[in-house]
Structure 1
Amino acid sequence: MQADATAAWEIARPPRVPALPGADMAGFRVPGGSPVELRTIPHPAVTVAVEFGDRPLEVRGLRSGSVAVGLGFSPFEVRAEGVECLQIRLSPLLARPVLGLPLTELSGSVLALDDLWGSAAPRLREQLHHARSWPERFALIEAELRTRLGEGRAVDPEVSSVWHGIVASQGRARVGELAAEVGWSRQRTWSRFGAQIGLTPKRAAMLVRFDHAVHRLAYGHPPARVAADGGYADQSHLHHEIRTFSGSTPATAANEPWLAADARAWPARERLG
């Protein structure tokens, strides 16, 4: 394993499990003086990052480091130095009503949070900046999410059930069987799921399976075992999907600093339902 470029980061976790199902948070403080270049790795949650320090995250192509990132995005570069931010992972079941837009509009994209939330985004950054502790910041975020959840439109219960089935099976469930369990045809499931989650059921299953596989690689598990346990046809199939989502080989992906920070921010590898 390569040296962890993020080892000096302060990473904070909520003092309790968030009361809002499908949401999880972690706080990051990156010291100044030694900039870190990170390549993001996609995972099966919608990500919202709210920066509140004096120096924003540098995300290429955006004027603000506060961003919302959809499911299945392509890897992109982030530069961090002297940054303070709070990262929120949202289940797509929760993200749709919280963000206030169909996830098809966010799928694979990185959008400035100011464009989604308007004046509420800088207001939230100001509140986080003046908060005295990480627990106070986590409470502010949870209150904001609850307010927005009450204003949004929930996904269909059938879509929710299919998503839960994909997550519970670590991406190995057959979509046709999940559709039958909710009483929908395969075609209807494909259409409604894609419209509300932002990915087809097959692509969502691939993303969930990839997420488990790439974290096992990062923890040092051999690729052959990861392929066999993860439901891949063979090791070359694993290599293909790792490259599809990360743009790199399994060996390179396993040593990404992004995954090293991820393992400390979400040590139990919780899966959002």
Structure 2
Amino acid sequence: MAQQVYDRLEFDAAAGRGGVRTIDLRVGTGPEGSWELVRAAPAGAPGSGVAGYRGYRLALHRPQRRLEVPSGLVTLLLEFGGSLRLGRVGRSLTGDPQAGWTRLDSLFAGLQTEPTVAEHDGRLCGIEVLLEPWLAYTVLGVGLHELHGVAVPVRDLLGWQGALLAERLAGTPRWSDRFALVDAFLLERVACGRPAAEQVVHAWRQVVRSGGDGCVGGLGAAVGWSERHLELRFREQIGLSPKRAARLLRLRHSLRLLEAGCPPARIAVACGFYDQAHYAREFKAMTGCTPAGLRQLRAMPERPVDRLPGRATSVLLRGRPANSARPESR
């Protein structure tokens, strides 16, 4: 029996406190089970720093494995049904060099500059909140340099508030009401949190606009700070130095062009790599694949896999044991 998929848009006027929320619901059923993916924007929350909400309910008959490439965003994952195994070969996302994998339910993941593999047993339900790093700094109240490349249980950062939010989400049946709970949570955290410095937000946006292709050496002067002071504050409130952030955003730019079908030589020039070999090395270091390998893996998804529409973030992996090497190209 072939997989059946249908889409539905809902308009939730009650959720927002600040407007009407559009909810994009996609449901699929087939031989492997059923799934439900829901996308929404914040309504009444600090929308300029929230890239989106993504709800999911998976009831599949076999374990699933995904490759996650760096997204340029901080992730708040609120699981209320099932848990994830996360890791990289030889090193876990918790930073423990002795363990390659770790099991987590609700978590925060800072900016990543390497590929991550996520596994679950086929049954999973939760909400993912994707945040600009400067807003995540306010929501969390900790320096984001402590979260670079790792994932931390929500309870370790938010204590009882994080546990209570996950518990309330689990007891709320409608997606619109769940998103409203997340809105209220973010509003409360932002109201009592420390905002990122305007200079840091401006510098981050400059690097984003450039796609990482440009000199970051003049950012300090542009915001009225010394380069050293900007680097320290940028690492604290973004999670990376300006130079490393530019490297990450150059990858994101190259992924957009790759998805559009651009040839590697053109991508290398457009994104400011020294040459095509430099592009290939950087791409593989940060995604675990060559450009051609990633394009092949993404060619025929069975269901929507990306964490944001129009942004290549994820690949479904097939037939790879949990302790296998990271996926490379063929």
Bin for the TM-score computed over the shorter chain: 0.7 to 0.9
2: CA distance, partners of 1:220 / 1:29: 31
Please state which structure has a larger fraction of its residues in strand. 2
1:52 is aligned to 80
1:4 is aligned to none
Please state which structure has a larger fraction of its residues in helix. 1
Shift of the 222–47 alpha-carbon distance from structure 1 to 2, 3 Å rule, reads: same
1:31 is aligned to 59
Identity %: 35
2: CA distance, partners of 1:246 / 1:215: 14
Matched, 1:155 2:155: no
Alignment of structure 1 residues 147-226 onto 2, 5 Å: 147-226=188-267
**Greater relative contact order (Cα < 8 A, sep 6+):** 1
2: CA distance, partners of 1:119 / 1:220: 47
Q: Deviations over 1:138-165 (max 9, x none)?
A: 1111211111112221121111110010
1: CA distance, partners of 2:66 / 2:288: 14
Shift of the 131–33 alpha-carbon distance from structure 1 to 2, 3 Å rule, reads: same
In the alignment, residue 10 of structure 1 is paired with which amino acid? E
SS of the residue corresponding to residue 60 of structure 2 reads coil
Q: Which segments of 5 or more consecutive residues in structure 1 lack a partner in the other structure?
A: 1-6
Q: Displacement of 1:76 after TM fit?
A: 2.6
Shift of the 264–192 alpha-carbon distance from structure 1 to 2, 3 Å rule, reads: closer
Find the partner of 2:176 among 135, 138, 143.
135
Alignment of structure 1 residues 66-77 onto 2, 5 Å: 66-77=106-117
SS of the residue corresponding to residue 176 of structure 1 reads coil
2:124 is aligned to 83
- Work out the number of aligned pairs and report it: 262
1:42 is aligned to 70
In the alignment, residue 59 of structure 1 is paired with which amino acid? L
Whether the 8 Å CA contact 1:73–1:109 is kept in 2: the answer is no
Q: Deviations over 1:171-230 (max 9, x none)?
A: 123212322211222222222212322211000011111112124324543222222222
SS of the residue corresponding to residue 94 of structure 1 reads helix
TM-score (norm 1): 0.86
Q: Note the aligned Cα RMSD (angstroms).
A: 2.5
2:12 is aligned to none
Q: Displacement of 1:46 after TM fit?
A: 0.7
